[in-house]
Structure 1
Amino acid sequence: MFQMAKVWVDPNDRVDSVEIRYTWSPVGAPPDFTDGKDEAEVMQVVFGTNPRVRQAIIEIPRYLEGVDNYLLHYHFGGGGQHHEGFTQIYTEEIVSNEVEYIDHEGLLTEVRVLWSVGGWAAPNWTQAHLDGLPLQVPVDAPGHDAEGEGLADEAIYELVQTVPLPRRFVARVWGPRGSRVEYSYQLLRNNTPIEGDEFVHWDNNQNQNFFIVLS
């Protein structure tokens, strides 16, 4: 799942409360708002706005039926028990794009991406994967976790060293097609055999953040 902010502007000062109701479907399929198949969030007033702006943070899938693009459907209406006066249904195609970080020096063992759609009201994390990293470790091979939990942490550093330079870390970000996603990288060097030879750094494009327009 990932988070995304949705915004509503009151058309007049008589609006008491507003909620957003939303659901999702495969591309080409119609929305189904019946029998509890949708989600709802009450929209909160953004302080100091005139006309009054309301915002809600919704949570939607990264993958639907194993596919990384699908349709998001939503509409707005009065909050509470009575749901009369809903707006038209809006539909957006949710897509994902890759972002990459290239490690030329071989210092990193892990890269994470902090990202958000249309501003930073709803930040998300994605763990990047390293191209060429051999993740399948035989049971009798060094580095296998004997308790069956997969790869032992101390084996990650050694495995990363087997990938030739430059090393390409790849992550995915999501949002409506055509939307702007801002992101920054958390860069980690961990599980090294030398004490004190670890770090956590940030690359946020000199405080400007990186961005991508989803296509």
Structure 2
Amino acid sequence: MYVLRRLFHDGFDRPELVLIHYSAAPENSPDTLLVRSTAVVVPSGIPGTRQVHLVLPRPPDGGRLLVRYLFSTVGGGREWFSSPYDVLLPGPATAGDVDEIEVEGEGNAVPAPGRGMFRLALPLRPDEPRTGGVRFGFGAMRKKPSLSLCRARVPQAHGEAPVVEVPEALSVLKNYPMPFFLYHVPEGGTVPLADKINGARITIRDAEGDIVCARALWGDRSWAAHNLTVMEVKNFASEEGRASGCFHAGDRESFLRNRAAVLAGHPLPRTFEGFVFGPSGSVVEYCFQVLRLRAGEAVASWVNAPSGTNWSITL
């Protein structure tokens, strides 16, 4: 698998939030999407510069990978989108910005249909080494722990736990993502260590009926990894105007108008819902970023806990 680094420069007006929306497809079949997702672009340690590392699959035919992406920002009550960019992997335009994750065989288990990935710093134990590589993988609840499930290897840098992508669920029951196990083993180890991955449903209530899009920004208490969940109105049944299309719509103004029209058919108050994920017993912090349609314009704002801080939930 490829790991592609992309940079974003804040400019004069520092955004409150920067996201990257990306897709990847074989170069010779650009309509065959292998992945489509959104990630949070975080400070790089250099003032005014943010970075993100995109985990991307290799094309099944062994050819080059076409990656398409654009940035969006939130700041001053407005949402802004950049022009789209195209790059090929491998290629000269990404020289020095591409690493690889070593993968055995067909790679790790993939998410259940309709579910995506989230980012997590591997939950290393205090006595585990902080150098060398770590193998990791996933298994269903009834799956016996085995090294054969750990099919990807990532290096450790600067003594910190590596951030990896983990499926939101391997299976879904009645629209609820079911728990599973994340396994990891340090280089040279023979016994995988297991962490049960749980999900928790979070909600935000819209009493006035002006919210058209709601997202949850979340991470563990260290914020070693940032995640964004696009939330949907409970019992939303229309195929048109689904929240999952908000960042990838070709005509965003038309998308927001159509979505607002569909939402108008849902009685007040409306409940937007989504999920956060992590190891069992861990604490997730989160807040909401919403778009409200007012006087025909989309206005961006943040919703925090009554204390002014983030909400938190134990998984």
Matches within 5 A, 1:104-143: 104-136=207-239
1:213 corresponding residue in structure 2: 314
Matches within 5 A, 1:135-154: 135-136=238-239, 152-154=255-257
1:98 corresponding residue in structure 2: 201
Q: Secondary structure at the match of 2:202?
A: strand
Instruction: State the 1:38 CA deviation.
Output: 1.4
How far does the alpha carbon of each residue in 1:170-192 deviate from its partner, in whole angstroms, 9 at most, with x for none? 011111111101111011124x6
Q: Answer yes or no: is 1:201 the counterpart of 2:262.
A: no
Letter in 2 for 1:43: Q
1:169 corresponding residue in structure 2: 272
Letter in 1 for 2:304: N
**Cα separation, partners in 2 of 1:11 and 1:94, compared to 1, 3 Å:** closer
Instruction: State the 1:123 CA deviation.
Output: 0.7
In structure 2, distance between residues paired with 1:185 and 1:211 = 12
Larger % of strand: which? Answer: 2
Instruction: State the 1:207 CA deviation.
Output: 4.5
Letter in 1 for 2:309: Q
2:154 corresponding residue in structure 1: 41
In structure 2, distance between residues paired with 1:171 and 1:188 = 16
Q: Secondary structure at the match of 1:109?
A: strand
Contact 1:102–1:167 (CA under 8 A) maintained in structure 2: yes
How far does the alpha carbon of each residue in 1:106-144 deviate from its partner, in whole angstroms, 9 at most, with x for none? 22111101111342111111111101334146xxxxxxx
Contact 1:9–1:54 (CA under 8 A) maintained in structure 2: no
**Cα separation, partners in 2 of 1:96 and 1:11, compared to 1, 3 Å:** closer
State the identity as a percent: 24
**Cα separation, partners in 2 of 1:16 and 1:179, compared to 1, 3 Å:** closer
Choose which of 119, 138, 141 in structure 2 pairs with 1:24: 138
Alignment gaps of 5+ in structure 2 = 1-116, 241-253
In structure 2, distance between residues paired with 1:90 and 1:16 = 15
In structure 1, distance between residues paired with 2:126 and 2:199 = 31
Q: Secondary structure at the match of 1:125?
A: strand
In structure 1, distance between residues paired with 2:218 and 2:281 = 16
Q: Secondary structure at the match of 2:161?
A: strand
Letter in 1 for 2:218: W
TM-score (norm 1): 0.74
Higher-Rg structure is: 1
TM-score (norm 2): 0.52
Letter in 1 for 2:131: S
